[in-house]
Amino acid sequence: MQRVFVLSPERTPLSPCRPARARWLLTHQQAAVFRRYPFTIILKHAPLDTVVPLLRVKIDPGSKTTGMAVVNDATGQVVWAAELEHRGQHVKKNLDDRRAHRRSRRSRHTRYRQPRFDNRCRPDGWLPPSLESRLSNVLTWVARLRRYAPIAAISQELIKFDTQLMEHPDINGAEYQQGTLAGYEVREYLLEQFSRTCAYCGKHDVPLEIEHIVPKSRGGSNRVSNLTLACEPCNQTKGNRTAQEFGHPEVQAQAKAPLKDAAAVNATRWALARRLQALGLPVETGSGGRTKWNRVQRDIPKTHWLDAACVGVSTPGVLRWQQTIPLLIKAAGWQRRQMCLVDTYGFPRTKAKEASQVFDFKTGDIVKAIVPSGKPQGTHTGRVAIKASGNFTITTKQRAVPDVPYRYCRRVHRADGYAYQKGAGAFLPIP
């Protein structure tokens, strides 16, 4: 079983305990629930023996999901594990939407505003917001774990995810991050990506030219994802057509496929390592090859959280993971900055948003409601969506229950920007 985090009355992290022990402490009024996710209890009296094991938090950063594990190096016990799902593409889509609305607004005849120039500088170490959000998620969870468990060290995988990167050490994070590679690197990269052949007729051992999949004259960009290699005859024949119109839609997919996820992981991995080092704990970094070797040696199946548990040289010889149930965490964001919703043309569609808190409840809180009578009669536990009227909607495991009066609701977990997968990790009945 996943261990339960334990805090002293002064909120110092103590040795995590088994669920049975936590249940005993709770039913005998020796402890209280401090936090639902991750499940943490706080003791009511200072314990006599305070031998605290030193734990290690291990991270396997991924572009969509990051695996996390808290491991006791001395015993090999996986104390706690989680899979953290990011919202990178979601962030990007929101920003793209906003950009589109602003652009259309500018081309309308509205009040004249002096143009602003030279206000577009980016600080050193700037990352695109979608990547920054992945990084913040990991750092948030490392900080939380340090509050609830005696963490003494960190392990992080510095991923080697594809052979191209190993064959092209020149392609470093910054270039991936921008999505463009300059001059020589572009050519070398494309030669590798299209196996030194013409993308359209498959000929090799002929002079190849760099070719735009969507022609520049029709708005195609210079990004690597829009470039391919073609022999001179194919390039001439294709002319001003896109690859799709030329009868080769697969070229487009091939050019785009490897970069998207690769770019995300690559640009974030070094930044994450730097920021973890700034926390002041010893940080061990391991390669993807080492993780896989550790995992195969110990005959462990591949999941994100088990990969995390296998990161680095420090991995114990015997890893005790069989009883662990990972907590599934999904980054949900806090709320929008957008003041009202807009229609297709960027005009306001709804009235301005109202207070985000109603009777001390906030959308995203996990609540338990015991309703004695009326339509929503019964006991409902789940995520709440608030309404100014005080009649909330609770989304339980089975269904959405509308019109639950706020006075029957009791908050179980305050909204913290993350959603938690049902069941996993929440193994204690809600008291």
Q: Which is nearer to Zn ion, 148 or 200 (CB)?
A: 200
In this complex, which beta carbon is closest to Zn ion, that of residue 9 or of residue 202?
202
Q: In Å, how far are 34, 35, 56, 145 from 11, measured between CA atoms? A: 10, 12, 19, 13
**Residue 159 dihedral angles phi and psi, to the nearest 5°:** -70, 140
Q: Which residue has the tokens 């207070």?
A: 355
Question: Shortest distance, CB of residue 254 to Zn ion, whole angstroms?
Answer: 15
Angle between helices 129-148 and 249-277 (to 10 degrees): 40
Amino acid at site 138: V
**Chain contacts with Zn ion (rule: CB under 5 A):** 198, 200-201, 231, 234
Tokens matching residue 335? 């709320």
Work out how close the CB of 248 gets to Zn ion at its nearest, in angstroms, rounded to a whole number.
10
Report the residue number, 200 or 408, with the smaller CB distance to Zn ion.
200
Nearest distance, CB of residue 322 and Zn ion, angstroms: 55
CB of 183 to Zn ion, least distance (A): 23
Is residue 300 within 8 Å of 319, Cβ to Cβ? yes
Least separation in angstroms between residue 335's CB and Zn ion is: 53
- Burial (Cβ within 10 Å: 0-12, 13-18, ≥19) of residue 94: middle
50 secondary structure, DSSP code: -
Smallest distance, Å, CB 231 to Zn ion? 4
Alpha carbon distance 251, 254 (integer Å): 5
Closer Cβ to Zn ion, 199 or 310, answer by number: 199
Q: Which is nearer to Zn ion, 230 or 310 (CB)?
A: 230
Least gap, CB of 200 to Zn ion (angstroms): 5
The answer to whether 400 and 394 have CB atoms below 8 angstroms apart is: yes
Min separation Cβ 201 and Zn ion, Å: 3
Nearer to Zn ion, 186 or 234 (CB): 234
Which tokens go with 380?
């409902």
Integer Cα distance of 133 and 61 in angstroms: 13
Q: Which is nearer to Zn ion, 200 or 418 (CB)?
A: 200
Torsion, Cα 354 359 360 363, to 10 degrees, reads: -50
Q: Shortest gap between Cβ of 194 and Zn ion (angstroms)?
A: 11
Residue partners of 422: CB distance under 8 A and separation at least 6: 397
Which letter does DSSP use for residue 323 in this model?
T
Cβ proximity to Zn ion: between 39 and 200 the closer is 200
Contact in structure between 229 and 223 (CB atoms under 8 Å): no
| Nearer to Zn ion among residue 201 and residue 342 (C-beta) | 201
Q: How far apart (Å, rounded) are the C-alpha atoms in residues 325 and 283?
A: 25
Report the b/e string of 98-111 with b at 16+ CB within 10 A.
eeeeeeeeeeeeee
